[in-house]
Amino acid sequence: MPRDLPVGNGSMLVTFDREYQIRDIFYPYVGKENHTIGHPCRMGIWVDGQFSWFGGEWQKTLRYKEDTLVTDVRARNDRLKIELQMYDTVDFHLNIFVKEIVVRNLEGRDREVRLFFNHDFHIYENEVGDTAYYDPDTMSVIHYKSHRYFLINCCDSAKCGVDHFATGIKETRGAEGTWKDAEDGALSGNPIAQGSVDSTLGINLQVKAYSENIAHYWIAVGMKYSEVVKLNKVIWEKMPEELIRRTENYWKLWVNKETFNFSDIPQRLISFFKRSLLIIRTQIDNEGAIIAANDSDIVQMGRDHYSYMWPRDGALVAQALVKSGYLDTSKRFFQFCADVISNDGYLLHKYNPDRSFASSWHPWLKNDKKSLPIQEDGIALVIWALWNHYDEFRDIEFVKSLYRNLIISAAEFMIKFRDEETGLPLDSYDLWEERYGVHTFTVSAVIAGLRAAGNFANAFGEHEYGSKYHEIADTMKSALTTYFYHKEEKRFARMGTRTATGYELDMTVDASLAGLVTFDVFDAEESMTASTMNAVKEKLSVNTYVGGIARYTNDPYHRVSNEAGQVPGNPWFVCTLWLAEYDIMRAKTLAELRNALSVLEWVVSRALPSGVLAEQINPYTGEPLSVSPLTWSHAVFVTTLLKYMKKRERLLICPECGNSESYVHRHVQKPWNA
């Protein structure tokens, strides 16, 4: 089930599913220590002797307030004659999740409404040895284990503290949990439970006929009792609505810090651009790790998840942040990479947000020989993105600190990790993590990474290094053409397997061939790349009403359809946007350029109502598949729109005077979409 609404502050992340249940609570790292491991934390209502947990009978709209990481959720239950409006956020500064609930009485008589909140914690990602208890000093319920504390409380306009509570066992001896206890509108008041436990608490509201009342609920998180008690006191003093208000203001400032010339871009795309930046930020830990996706439902597939930092994904997300003007967030990512790079200059498969090496399926032994378990494209793209960071911000002191141990170290590894005869990189794993060999995407990334390292070396006056890196990149580009361009099929192979005389080519059409132009290895106008990208468009288009571009022909991952002719694979947002980027590069006129807007519109129309993008979607229904949100999907949307704007400015420059504004006034009578 997708995570429709993530809210966080870089240390604490809370996600909601489509039923508006809390499903993930990460702390103290985004992506590490999910203290619910995907188990739902329910919210329910009792009124007039009737009870309902949020589920199918509620009509719900799950969105955010514009330009913020504050939710705007509306829910209506016609059976109960109750309507709710709710705002959720994690305070931008403090580790407090806070919810405001506006309860509207749709009956013509006064009523008592009881709100109930259930908590199914698995602290430190397991249920062994947890404690839940009622704390009379704070009139709250607290869950704890070792150095993790969760204080849960609520208030209304007249009082603070819970009106009902129960703690109890779960997942053992047939016990379902205290949430069942709430369904009669009252809780047992059991004050403490240990082991595999849950809790439920409630608050009573008096709501007049055709009127409304407001309650607040919060979870304060810390590493010891005194810390969460202090946070609880802050809420009582500042009032929860003040925390929501200030956090709303903070995110509005954050997402609007840069001024972009959106010009002819429809407002819908502008809003989605900002929404993507905000969702990207929820998936980034304050210590620098850019997490691929925090959706614990994927655990059901292979007992693992996407809550890791892949160097490649992180670099491409960092690139989007760099081009959007976010200096500090991208700096922390590059520092993370500098901290974890090996002494030999390579980055491993993936990392946990605390900088430890994450789980991997890449072996250290291949064909009875030691083999590095790496994806070399990730190493190269970090250096490529770092050059873009420097080029954008000229942050010379920061780059100086990374020059020797990250930039030069990675570049020296890339030039050593080559086939002496062909000049191409040695075998590594592809960006899809499925094949071992030499990949066109990887070669393109390495060329871009070496060029970036050469630019750094020249900038620092080490021209010997600079010349060497650029020369090797040029040689590698020639080798890529020599060995990987298939003259009969007039397109590049996606992969080659080394043979005694060269490479056995895998000619499967793969969307990652876009790397040839995305990383500026080849010009978009060159016939070799044009024919390759035309094959991507022709062979990987999903021919259903959903549309989009698949990863490669007969892609089996989460495959829905066996109609290979119509559906080569599920549509991926990243792959579809790569094709839009290519169209932007090739555009010679404004009319040609605007064709790319239709792809951006397609992306927005296939997002969840909240603005969340999945990794891929069902080719027949458009429903999200795999993880949601995928940080990379949002990053490529941001990058594509930025490239559109940059290309539009170039096309609008007056050839006689070099002034774009005067040219616009003379040649553009009205917005194209007016």
| CATH code of residue 81 | 2.70.98.10
**What is residue 562's predicted lDDT score, i.e. its pLDDT?**
83
Asked if residues 608 and 593 have their Cβ atoms less than 8 Å apart, the reply is no
Counted domains in the chain: 2
Q: In sequence order, which residues have a C-beta less than 8 Å from that of residue 172 and are 6 or more positions away?
A: 195, 196
**What is residue 555's predicted lDDT score, i.e. its pLDDT?**
95
Report the alpha-carbon distance of residue 267 to residue 389 in Å, rounded.
28
Residue at which a domain ends, from 234, 254, 274? 254
pTM score above 0.85: yes
Q: pLDDT at residue 673 above 70?
A: no
Q: Are residues 270 and 178 in the same domain?
A: no
Q: How far from 413 is each of 195, 379, 519, 543, CA to CA, in Å? A: 50, 9, 20, 43
Tokens of 318: 């960092």
Of the pLDDT bands very low, low, confident and very high (cuts 50, 70, 90), residue 206 is very high
Predicted confidence (pLDDT) per residue in 59-106, tens digit: 999 999 999 999 999 999 999 999 999 999 999 999 999 999 999 999
Report the alpha-carbon distance of residue 553 to residue 48 in Å, rounded.
57
Q: In sequence order, which residues have a C-beta less than 8 Å from that of residue 611 and are 6 or more positions away?
A: 63, 64, 272, 275, 276, 279
**What is residue 655's predicted lDDT score, i.e. its pLDDT?**
57
Q: Are residues 82 and 173 in the same domain?
A: yes
- Which of the two residues, 507 and 237, has the higher pLDDT score? 507
**What is residue 445's predicted lDDT score, i.e. its pLDDT?**
98
**What is residue 659's predicted lDDT score, i.e. its pLDDT?**
54
Q: How far from 280 is each of 238, 340, 545, 645, CA to CA, in Å? A: 29, 22, 28, 20
Q: Is residue 339 part of a domain?
A: no
Report the alpha-carbon distance of residue 353 to residue 28 in Å, rounded.
10
% of the chain at pLDDT higher than 70:
96
- Which of the two residues, 563 and 460, has the higher pLDDT score? 460
Q: Among 171-185, 229-243, 445-459, 628-642, which is the least confidently predicted range?
A: 171-185
Report the alpha-carbon distance of residue 218 to residue 89 in Å, rounded.
10
Q: Are residues 152 and 269 in the same domain?
A: no
Q: What is the mean pLDDT of residues 176-185?
A: 92
Mean pLDDT of the chain: 94
Of the pLDDT bands very low, low, confident and very high (cuts 50, 70, 90), residue 670 is very low
Q: Are residues 221 and 270 in the same domain?
A: no
Q: Are residues 143 and 14 in the same domain?
A: yes
Q: What is the mean pLDDT of residues 263-279?
A: 96
Predicted confidence (pLDDT) per residue in 133-171, tens digit: 999 999 999 999 999 999 999 999 888 999 999 999 998
**What is residue 300's predicted lDDT score, i.e. its pLDDT?**
59
Angle at 534 between CA 570 and CA 494, to 5 degrees: 65
Of the pLDDT bands very low, low, confident and very high (cuts 50, 70, 90), residue 2 is confident
Of the pLDDT bands very low, low, confident and very high (cuts 50, 70, 90), residue 175 is confident
Neighbouring C-beta atoms of residue 250, cutoff 10 Å: 18
Q: Are residues 33 and 165 in the same domain?
A: yes
**What is residue 302's predicted lDDT score, i.e. its pLDDT?**
61
Q: Are residues 113 and 193 in the same domain?
A: yes
Q: Is residue 506 part of a domain?
A: no
Q: Is residue 388 part of a domain?
A: no
Q: pLDDT at residue 469 above 70?
A: yes
Report the alpha-carbon distance of residue 569 to residue 562 in Å, rounded.
9
Q: Is residue 308 part of a domain?
A: no
Q: pLDDT at residue 669 above 70?
A: no
Task: Say what angle helices 327-340 and 311-324 make with each other, to 10 degrees.
Answer: 150
Question: Which domain range does residue 660 map to?
Answer: 263-286+555-674
Of the pLDDT bands very low, low, confident and very high (cuts 50, 70, 90), residue 656 is low
Q: pLDDT at residue 529 above 90?
A: yes
Of the pLDDT bands very low, low, confident and very high (cuts 50, 70, 90), residue 563 is confident
Q: What is the mean pLDDT of residues 44-50?
A: 97
Q: Are residues 57 and 175 in the same domain?
A: yes
Radius of gyration of the chain, Cα coordinates, nearest whole angstrom: 27
Q: Is residue 446 part of a domain?
A: no
Q: In sequence order, which residues have a C-beta less than 8 Å from that of residue 334 and are 6 or more positions away?
A: 288, 318, 382, 385, 386, 389, 398, 402, 406
Predicted confidence (pLDDT) per residue in 309-342, tens digit: 999 999 999 999 999 999 999 999 999 999 999 9
Q: Among 246-255, 515-524, 578-587, 650-659, which is the least confidently predicted range?
A: 650-659
**What is residue 661's predicted lDDT score, i.e. its pLDDT?**
46
Which residues are registered as beta bridge partners of 100?
87, 216
Q: What is the mean pLDDT of residues 204-227?
A: 98
Predicted confidence (pLDDT) per residue in 280-293, tens digit: 999 999 999 999 99
Residue at which a domain ends, from 254, 271, 299? 254
Q: Are residues 19 and 86 in the same domain?
A: yes
Determine the 3-state secondary structure of 581 from DSSP: helix
Q: Are residues 215 and 275 in the same domain?
A: no
Q: Is residue 523 part of a domain?
A: no
Residue at which a domain ends, from 233, 254, 275? 254
Q: Is residue 453 part of a domain?
A: no
Q: pLDDT at residue 667 above 70?
A: no
Q: Are residues 181 and 215 in the same domain?
A: yes
Q: Are residues 237 and 269 in the same domain?
A: no
Q: Is residue 324 part of a domain?
A: no
Report the alpha-carbon distance of residue 334 to residue 347 in Å, rounded.
12
